[in-house]
Amino acid sequence: MNMIISGKQMELTPGIKAAIEEKLGRIDHYLHPNTEVRVTVRAKKARQTIEVTIIPISGPIIRAEDSEENLYAAIDVVYDKLNRQLRRYKNKLIDRTQTSKSIKYEGTDFTEDTNELEEDTDLEIVIKRRKKFDMKPMSPEEAVLQMELIGHEFYMFRNVDTDDISTVYKRKSGGYGLIEHE
């Protein structure tokens, strides 16, 4: 595991780096030796934030973040989140290979009730953040798994069957939705 530790708005002491390396070193058995682990530590007023992104050679990106008043408590919480996500992902891979079952969409209604938005002529749209990323071909089931691992409400991906851009999302009423291009 290649760990890259950086600090924003704070200077990282050797003690902080050692604590991060020691704690996150415990998840090493889940990861390939060449896996990149990016750790960013930020300080803002009385809150300390740690963000960990695991970028594996193959498979989904895994991410966890926590903010606490005590940085060492935040490190513990992030470790617990990553350990839980990695264990869940590993178990799903084992289940998929042993039982050939995966995330199913049976009984899920993919139509979403949409409320028409009222037109507001004074509406000013401001895009605050742009994000670009590489889209690897994957099935909708893999995209749902990836979405769960990074903790987002939706996930855009290239569908391996159609080679089109698709999006999976969590429905408020439970289950998942899939948006595809016609």
Percentage helix, strand, coil for the chain under 3-state DSSP, each rounded to 5: 30, 25, 40
- Structural domain ending residue among the three candidates 72, 99, 126: 99
User: What is the rounded distance in angstroms from the CA atom of residue 75 to the CA atom of residue 16?
Assistant: 10
The first and second tokens of residue 25, run together, are 């070193």
- Same domain assignment for residues 78 and 148: no
CATH code of the domain covering residue 80: 3.30.160.100
User: What pLDDT does residue 117 have?
Assistant: 42
- Same domain assignment for residues 15 and 94: yes
User: What pLDDT does residue 176 have?
Assistant: 92
Domain that holds residue 30: 2-99
Cα-to-chain-centroid distance, residue 155: 9
- Same domain assignment for residues 15 and 81: yes
- Structural domain ending residue among the three candidates 71, 99, 127: 99
Please give the order of strands across the beta sheet that includes 47-55: 2-8, 36-44, 47-55, 62-68
129 part of a folded domain? no
Q: Which residue has the higher pLDDT, 171 or 119?
A: 171
The domain tally of the chain equals 2
- Same domain assignment for residues 10 and 84: yes
Q: Is 90 exceeded by the pLDDT of residue 18?
A: yes
CATH code of the domain covering residue 175: 3.30.505.50
- Same domain assignment for residues 77 and 12: yes
- Same domain assignment for residues 15 and 89: yes
131 part of a folded domain? no
Q: Is 70 exceeded by the pLDDT of residue 49?
A: yes
Q: Which residue has the higher pLDDT, 37 or 109?
A: 37
pLDDT in tens, 78-113: 999 998 888 888 877 776 666 544 444 444 444 444
Residue 2 CB neighbours (<10 A): 11
User: What pLDDT does residue 108 have?
Assistant: 45
